[in-house]
Each structure stands twice: as structure tokens, then as C-alpha cells.
Amino acid sequence: MTRVRLRKIESFIALSLCSLAAFAGIFWLFFILGDVIVHGASALRLELFTNDPAPPGIEGGGLRNAFVGQLLITFFATIIGVPLGVLGGTFLAEYARGKRIAKLISILSDIMVSVPSIVVGTFVYAVLVKPVGHFNGWAGAVALAIIMIPVVLRTTEDMLRLVPWTLREAAFALGAPYYRVITQVVYRGAAAGIFTGVLLSIARVAGETAPLLFTSFNNSFFSINMNEPISSLTATIFQYAMGPYDDWHSQAWAASLVITLFILLVTILGRMIIKMRYGGK
């Protein structure tokens, strides 16, 4: 009898520890989010979006340049990265389905998704900054696009695979060439999934800092010229948080709040689309 009791106690202790671990995870989430919201909300003002930075050390000013720069860099990264990713994923799931090359590229993409983003930054620096002689916005956009491509490629591949093969056969039977089957049947079937993949990849790169530090660099002035250094929210947060002024710190918190909320909203939206379209998976 005592043996059974001992086993039950052991089980209870182990399971309690597991529950504790789960609540530790939740605890950190609320600690970090709460902290960002409390500090960020108190520093959030309208001027943050409408004004450019004041000279260092002087109170006031905003981060209009960083918001605009971030939008520009992310926009161009999306323009470059999404088509490449979607088309590449199409090749893997359709033309090269079952071929060894598809498997290889798929695995390499999975690895690329987790490769240190700062290394991508150094690579783009060598290719697009060093030859030009100065930091520029295009380099930042390309660096983010490089991080985006494997993410979009892999989700596109997975989503296209979910489209039943019989659907394609039905279209083939009507005499449609493969490219029409892909663009008019397969893409339609997978549209929600591909769109979600794009959303999640935007969320992923919107918070990237390391690859921007030495590509688009930073700019204290308002600029929409992609050939020049351009400001981004994340690089500004890094500069302001490490800087000596309290006003900088509170602006960094406010910028963090905006970027965190944006990313969490996009992530939740993406999950909701997937859940609605594919039911829970």
C-alpha cells in the first residue's frame, strides 16, 4: 500500500513542478508585457508620431523619422522578399514535388530561418554598403528581405501541400496547363495560408534590429531617401536605451510599446486566420 502512495506522491510532486514551470512562462510574459505597457503608455504622446527628434539632451521631440523609416524599410523588404519566397515555395511544392532538390532547399531554408540575423547584416554590409561607401536604406531593406525569404518560402510550401492533389487533377483533366492550375486553382485554395505566412514574416522582421545596425544605420533627421542612412524604430530604441538621457529612455519605451503591440496584433491575426481557415491546426 505504501508503495502506491509513494508513487502517487512522486507523481504529484513532478506534475506540480511542471505546472509551476508553465506558470513561470506566463509570469515572464506578463512581467515583460506589463513593464513595456506601463513605461510605454506613460511616454506615449502625439508628438512622438508628428515631430522629429530634438537635439540630444533637449527634452521633447518625437520619432517621426523612425516611424517613417521603419515603414519604408519594411515595405521594400516585403516587396523584395515576398515574391521570391512565394515563387520559391511554389517550385518546391509543385514542379519539384518529391524531388531531392526540393527536400534539400526546404531543409536549407529551415536552417536559414534560424541563422543569426546579425550575420546577414555583416553580409549585406560587405555587398551593399562597403562598395557604395556609405550606409543606405536599400541595404537595410535587402537585409530584412533575406531574413524574410526562407520564412515565406517554407510557409508557402507547406500551405500549397495542404491543397488536395485531386483538385489539381480535376483542373488537369479540363486541359489546363500546370501554370494555370497553380495560379488559378492552387493559389486560391492556399491564399489564406500564404497571406498568413506573409503577415507572420512581416511581424518577424519588424522587430529585427541586428541586421539594420550596419546596413540602414540610423539618421537623426527626417529622410525618405533610401540611398542615404535611414532611421528605424529598432535601431533608435537601441541608441536611445543605451544613451544617457531620461527623455531618450522614455521615448525608447514608447517606441517599444508601439512595435510590440504591432507585432503581437499581427501574430494573433495570423493565428486567427489559420484557425478559421484550417480549423485549429
Q: Which of residues 102-131 bind another protein (CB under 8 A)?
A: 102, 105, 107-112, 114-123, 125-127
Encoded one letter per residue, x for contact with another protein by CB under 8 A and - for no contact, window 42-71 reads ------------------------------
Alpha-carbon distance 68 to 164, whole Å?
42
Residue 88 or 193 with smaller CB distance to another protein: 88
Cell, residue 176: 489546363
Q: Using CB under 8 A, which of 47, 207, 222, 243 touches another protein?
A: 207
62 close to 72: Cβ distance less than 8 angstroms: no
Cβ neighbour number for residue 271 with a 10 Å cutoff = 13
72 close to 224: Cβ distance less than 8 angstroms: yes
Residue with cell 531618450: 248
Cell, residue 84: 521570391
Does residue 134 touch another protein according to CB under 8 A? no
Q: Using CB under 8 A, count the residues that bind another protein.
A: 94
Residue 7 or 50 with smaller CB distance to another protein: 7
Distance of CA 125 to the CA centre of its chain: 21
Cα dist from 100 to 81, 89, 103, whole Å: 24, 15, 5
Q: Using CB under 8 A, which of 49, 172, 195, 222 touches another protein?
A: 172
Cell, residue 253: 519605451
Cell, residue 45: 504622446
Please, what is the minimum distance in Å from the beta carbon of residue 38 to another protein? 10
Does residue 209 touch another protein according to CB under 8 A? yes
- Tell me which residues in 218-247 interact with another protein (CB under 8 A): 234, 237-238, 241-242
Does residue 179 touch another protein according to CB under 8 A? yes
Residue 49 or 91 with smaller CB distance to another protein: 91
